């Protein structure tokens, strides 16, 4: 595949735009052809190009080569990685079947759900200890008050139930739920960074069940990516 390089090309598709202030670079300065095994550089400019300090018209190049356009020392330095990125982006743009990447998305989604459940479980078990302690306190109170004041069991039972419930609610539940919310948000934030459409790179909603994406089969942003063929 070929990428055209110059000051007068569009910066999309298979062309790489050189910034305007490199006035020594031609509008269409050179073409880089990337094949299976070989890369070829071909100059078509008025001021010329240099590969590793040697002026060239057409030459086979490799990754580590120093390629200068327009001037040997002060010209535009061509980054081969940028050229390769252009080709990758172009291939992605014209590809529609993203079913293999969708499997990775599914993993991200499952990881998020598992992590969320773990966090909820952790805080659930955290609140059970104070609950037991307050229940014991409530029972002791029930017996003590029952003994001293000769209270009917119905009213004693009220203490037994109300003391642990209210206390747990006031002292532990609220604090724990704040901490839990923070942890849940952090987990979501971290995994949402990876939960993107593989084609258009726009974020997908990690709170929506993945089954909805599976039913729709395509990107919700309408970029044309197909997740399930």
Instruction: For the chain, give the number of residues.
Output: 229
Interacting residue with Zn ion among 84, 93, 188, 221 (CB under 5 A): 221
d(CA 204, CA 213): 9
Shorter beta-carbon distance to Zn ion: residue 182 or 217:
217
Interacting residue with Zn ion among 25, 69, 78, 225 (CB under 5 A): 225
**Smallest gap from residue 225 Cβ to Zn ion (A):** 5
Shorter beta-carbon distance to Zn ion: residue 29 or 199:
199
Interacting residue with Zn ion among 80, 112, 219, 227 (CB under 5 A): 219
**Structure tokens belonging to residue 167:** 């206390």
Q: Is 223 in the site for Zn ion (CB under 5 A)?
A: yes
Shorter beta-carbon distance to Zn ion: residue 59 or 221:
221
Which residues within the stretch 172-201 sit at the binding site for Zn ion (CB under 5 A)?
Answer: 197, 199-200
Which residues within the stretch 199-218 sit at the binding site for Zn ion (CB under 5 A)?
Answer: 199-200
d(CA 164, CA 100): 52
- Residues touching Zn ion: how many (CB under 5 A)? 7
Shorter beta-carbon distance to Zn ion: residue 93 or 126:
93
> Which residues lie near Zn ion (CB under 5 A)?
197, 199-200, 219, 221, 223, 225
């Amino acid at each position: 595949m070929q990428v055209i390089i110059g000051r007068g090309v569009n910066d999309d598709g298979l062309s790489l735009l050189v910034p305007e202030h490199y006035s020594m670079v031609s509008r269409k300065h050179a073409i880089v052809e990337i094949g299976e095994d070989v890369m070829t550089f071909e100059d078509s400019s008025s001021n010329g190009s240099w590969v590793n300090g040697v002026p060239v018209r057409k030459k086979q190049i490799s990754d580590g080569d120093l390629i200068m356009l327009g001037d040997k020392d002060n010209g535009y330095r061509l980054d081969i990685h940028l050229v390769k990125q252009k080709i990758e982006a172009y291939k992605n743009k014209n590809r529609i079947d993203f079913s293999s990447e969708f499997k990775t998305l599914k993993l991200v989604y499952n990881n998020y759900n598992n992590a969320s459940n773990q966090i909820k479980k952790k805080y659930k078990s955290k609140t059970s200890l104070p609950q037991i302690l307050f229940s014991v306190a409530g029972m002791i109170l029930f017996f003590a008050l029952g003994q001293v004041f000769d209270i009917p069991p119905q009213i004693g039972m009220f203490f037994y139930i109300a003391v642990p419930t209210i206390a747990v609610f006031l002292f532990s539940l609220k604090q724990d739920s704040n901490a839990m919310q923070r942890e849940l948000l952090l987990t979501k934030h971290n995994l949402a960074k990876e939960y993107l459409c593989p084609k258009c790179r726009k974020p997908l909603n990690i709170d929506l069940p993945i089954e909805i994406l599976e039913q729709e089969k395509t990107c919700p942003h309408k970029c044309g990516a197909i997740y399930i063929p």
